[in-house]
Amino acid sequence: MHMSESSWGFAHFLVQVDTVGLCVLAILTAMSLLSWYLIVSRLWRYIATRMRSRVFVTDFRRVRQPVDAELLRIATGGNNPFARLLGEGLQACQSLREAGDGVNARKTDGLGFELASPDDYVSAALAHGVTRETRHMERGMTPLASIASTAPFVGLFGTVWGIFHALQSIALSAQASLDKVAGPVGEALIMTAYGLFVSIPALLAYNAFTRQNRNLTVDLERFAHAVFGLLGLGLAPGEPQIVELPATATQRTDAAKVKVEGAR
């Protein structure tokens, strides 16, 4: 007697699956829920951050004095990475002003080290701010990468275990017809399909977020150049200056030194 086609399927698989299979399904379900939570939360946070950053950068391009930049930062309350990066530069300048003669006194006493140029301190503070914001943007990426890489193997393990369990049941029943073998094996492949269903969205989201983070890091580096030009050289930030300035912290420092030496 042949078993009808409707007797096999996902419902029959859930009824027949053992404890190990249920554990695999529970793990894959937890992975799926976690990945979608990370995807939705990060997407929402990215959209909100991008909108606030766009408004802030537009307002910053109208700034002409460091005092106006400080007022703009206070007005935003550091609600975006560009405002926090500007705060790093302003804090570095404030620290240099507060140090004053204390730096020379420590040099006389043989304490501390000689600072070649105050520009180096501000440039280092901005580079640190870019690094900190980059690290902040990468939060939650590791679980996505882990889910994308491990979910197919978890599903494959469930498939292997399901096939083993099905073949063992067939051997005990002494019935090795095609319908007795193909049905359980086909049901076991559901685990592999479920693993891919969990893995593919996580992988696509990880790649998309990685690209977004990389683009945002480039924008932060360009913005750091504009902040350095405003605080150190008195250059009003503008669209051409933000785009044309070099991209690395070392180039920022070298470009500032050339301009200062030329002014002398």
List the end-to-end C-alpha distance of the chain, in Å, as a whole number.
99
Q: How far apart are CA 111 and CA 219, in angstroms?
A: 38
Contact 225, 248 (CB under 8 A): no
Q: What's the DSSP call for residue 47? A: H
Q: How far apart are CA 216 and CA 259, in angstroms?
A: 28
Note the pLDDT of residue 154.
92
* Cα 217 from chain centre: 10
Res 259 pLDDT > 50: no
Res 75 pLDDT > 70: yes
Res 251 pLDDT > 80: no
Contact 142, 180 (CB under 8 A): no
pTM above 0.95, yes or no: no
Note the pLDDT of residue 114.
54
Q: 173-217 pLDDT, tens per residue?
A: 666 555 556 556 666 788 888 999 999 999 999 999 999 999 999
Q: Across the chain, how many H-helices and E-strands are there?
A: 10, 0
